[in-house]
């Protein structure tokens, strides 16, 4: 597969060298961006793929903004905030902000949005982003209080990330389905057209409020195309059919550096990759319930070589399921599963599988990495069958007990706190396919204690326990490679957020 990809890129490069790239985007001050995943709903509360997060930050605003360069919190829809007590945050809201449909922003929008999405009956796709909210309360037109179910010190991080604010009147009328079809926010770009599953078109919001920490957008129009096939994306960016793609595999990105009309920019991101094992009673592969089998899988994969040869510069091997910069993330006390195929085979034989076994391995992105993992597993006798699909389909298969092993990635919605990462998969939420009460309780302690030292100790114990029991195999941090037209100026941030509002053409 990798050889075919290299041949394809080589052919596309040859074609690009003899053709003139389209310059219409620069002349029209437009960015055409292609992405390989399709959001099931662009309402930020009802999808959990990265492209949904990207769209969310352009179309909507949050109460607080975290500066990606300094990590300083700044007022966005709120101008100031304070903790009234351990479970109450109070916000002064910005005056004069309007949503794209003309609705005036005030406390009613905050209260309605947060009370709606935090209600379990409304089934937010990633409940951990909002299930810490007890209720939002209006104090007056421009003052609200958010009450948390228990002390939740990471609240500011969430309110500066995935927790966007919807216009209450419109949202009450159309709900998540209508918000997907015709999105309305207050952000720097407004949606002009959404052809579901194909593309979404945005244009600069001429009424965007002047004091936004995002600044005024410089690009007039953005077209986001959903193109699942990677080779089609490569051909499009090399021919000038699109202006930017991301998540390009390492080997293809290295080849594309030779193209005269594009540039390649890369860097480590907060996104981590891991294998997740279903060990519940209804698991499709009962062998995974044996810890020796899970440890055998962990020793079968040469993560160091994958980082160097497939993932790319900036990536690092991880030993616990979190990103190192996140508050509470540590691998202290966690076992190391070094590459040792002989040990892997011995563990399989000890568990009663001297000839290995067959298993489905589900994945949704970084296909070349998944294929390498499958190669390592087959080398020790585990005959893994690739089930590659869109994220929503993979996630649903896991939640229905149909996916024994998942090659997962998680970007934590760019929230720099362990509460946005590990608990999603180990705190009895829909994506928990291990259900260990001891792990759950330690994570809950870390999530809800206001003493930072208590939080760190609880997370350390939980992370070590997950690793000891081999419930998952942390693989590595992911590097994102962007390929864009040479004339486009942009920054590759660690949070995987291409900020189109900052970009300019030379």
Summarize the confidence of residues 386-410 as an average pLDDT: 97
Query: Is residue 502 situated within a structural domain?
Result: no
- Strands 357-363 and 382-388 turn out to be parallel
Summarize the confidence of residues 464-492 as an average pLDDT: 97
- Residue 273 scores a pLDDT above 50: yes
Summarize the confidence of residues 34-54 as an average pLDDT: 95
Summarize the confidence of residues 413-441 as an average pLDDT: 96
Query: Is residue 260 situated within a structural domain?
Result: no
Query: Is residue 262 situated within a structural domain?
Result: no
- Residue 76 scores a pLDDT above 50: yes
Query: Is residue 22 situated within a structural domain?
Result: no
- Residue 47 scores a pLDDT above 90: yes
Percentage of residues of the chain with pLDDT beyond 70: 95
Query: Is residue 104 situated within a structural domain?
Result: yes
Please indicate, yes or no, whether residues 186 and 321 belong to a single structural domain of this protein. Answer: no
Please indicate, yes or no, whether residues 285 and 420 belong to a single structural domain of this protein. Answer: yes
Summarize the confidence of residues 272-301 as an average pLDDT: 98
- pLDDT band, residue 1 (cuts 50/70/90): very low
* Number of domains the chain contains: 2
Per DSSP, what are the bridge partners of residue 273? 409, 476
Tell me: the pLDDT tens digits for 84-96?
999 999 999 999 9
Please indicate, yes or no, whether residues 276 and 160 belong to a single structural domain of this protein. Answer: no
Query: Is residue 244 situated within a structural domain?
Result: no
Average pLDDT, the chain: 95
* CA quadruple 217, 222, 226, 231: dihedral sign: negative
Question: For 103-120, b where at least 16 C-beta lie within 10 A, e where not — what string?
Answer: bebbbbbbbbbbbbbbee
- Residue 351 scores a pLDDT above 90: yes
We report the CATH number of the domain holding residue 407 as 3.10.105.10
What confidence score (pLDDT) does residue 7 get?
A: 57
Using CA atoms, how far apart are residues 165 and 109, in angstroms rounded to an integer? 7
Backbone φ/ψ region at 98: left (φ over 0), alpha (ψ -120 to 50), beta: beta
Do the Cβ atoms of 459 and 446 come closer than 8 Å?
Answer: yes
Please indicate, yes or no, whether residues 215 and 274 belong to a single structural domain of this protein. Answer: no
What does pTM read for this prediction? Answer: 0.87
Tell me: the pLDDT tens digits for 3-19?
455 555 665 555 555 44
What confidence score (pLDDT) does residue 25 get?
A: 85
Please indicate, yes or no, whether residues 273 and 174 belong to a single structural domain of this protein. Answer: no
Using CA atoms, how far apart are residues 255 and 219, in angstroms rounded to an integer? 29
Q: Write out the residue range of the structural domain in which residue 99 sits.
A: 37-225
- pLDDT band, residue 123 (cuts 50/70/90): very high
Residue among 139, 133, 134 at smallest CA distance from 154 = 133
Here the tokens at position 280 are 């519940």
We report the CATH number of the domain holding residue 95 as 3.40.190.10
Please indicate, yes or no, whether residues 212 and 274 belong to a single structural domain of this protein. Answer: no
């Amino acid at each position: 597969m990798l050889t075919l990809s290299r041949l394809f890129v080589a052919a596309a490069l040859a074609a690009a060298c003899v053709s003139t790239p389209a310059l219409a985007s620069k002349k029209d001050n437009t960015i055409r961006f292609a992405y390989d995943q399709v959001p099931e709903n662009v309402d930020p509360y009802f999808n959990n793929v990265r492209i949904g997060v990207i769209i969310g930050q352009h179309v909507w605003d949050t109460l607080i903004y975290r500066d990606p360069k300094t990590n300083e919190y700044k007022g966005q829809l709120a101008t100031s905030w304070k903790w009234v007590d351990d479970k109450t945050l109070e916000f002064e809201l910005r005056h004069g902000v309007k949503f794209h449909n003309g609705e005036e922003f005030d406390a009613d929008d905050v209260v309605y949005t947060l009370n709606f999405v935090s209600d379990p009956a409304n089934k937010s796709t990633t409940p951990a982003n909002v299930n810490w909210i007890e209720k939002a309360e209006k104090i007056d037109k421009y003052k609200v209080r958010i009450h948390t179910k228990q002390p939740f010190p990471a609240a500011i991080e969430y309110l500066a990330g995935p927790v966007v604010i919807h216009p209450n009147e419109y949202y009450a009328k159309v709900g998540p389905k209508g918000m997907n079809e015709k999105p309305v926010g207050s952000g720097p770009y407004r949606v002009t057209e959404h052809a579901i599953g194909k593309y979404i078109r945005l244009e600069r919001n001429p009424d965007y409020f002047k004091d936004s920490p995002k600044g005024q957008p410089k690009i007039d129009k953005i077209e986001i195309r959903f193109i699942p096939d990677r080779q089609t994306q490569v051909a499009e960016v090399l021919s000038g059919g699109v202006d930017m793609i991301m998540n390009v595999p390492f080997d293809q990105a290295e080849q594309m550096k030779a193209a005269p009309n594009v540039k390649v920019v890369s860097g480590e991101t907060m996104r981590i990759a891991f294998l997740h094992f279903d060990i519940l009673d209804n698991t499709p592969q009962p062998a995974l319930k044996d810890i020796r089998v899970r440890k055998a899988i962990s020793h079968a994969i040469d993560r160091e070589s994958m980082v160097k040869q497939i993932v790319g510069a900036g990536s690092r091997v991880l030993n616990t399921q979190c990103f190192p910069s996140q508050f509470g993330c540590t691998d202290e006390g966690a076992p190391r599963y070094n590459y040792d195929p002989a040990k892997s085979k011995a563990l399989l034989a000890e568990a009663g599988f001297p000839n290995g076994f067959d298993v489905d391995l589900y994945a949704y992105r970084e296909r070349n990495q998944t294929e390498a993992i499958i190669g390592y597993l087959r080398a020790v006798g585990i005959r893994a069958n690739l089930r590659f699909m869109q994220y929503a389909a993979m996630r649903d298969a896991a939640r229905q007990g149909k996916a024994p092993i998942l090659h997962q990635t998680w970007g934590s919605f760019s929230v720099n706190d362990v509460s946005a990462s590990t608990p999603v998969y180990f705190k009895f939420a829909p994506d928990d396919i291990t259900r260990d009460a001891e792990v759950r309780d330690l994570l809950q302690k870390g999530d809800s204690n206001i003493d930072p030292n208590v939080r760190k100790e609880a997370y350390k114990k939980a992370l070590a326990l997950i690793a000891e029991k081999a419930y998952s195999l942390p693989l590595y941090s992911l590097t994102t490679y962007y390929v864009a037209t040479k004339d486009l100026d942009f920054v590759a941030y660690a949070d995987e957020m291409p900020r189109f509002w900052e970009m300019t053409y030379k």
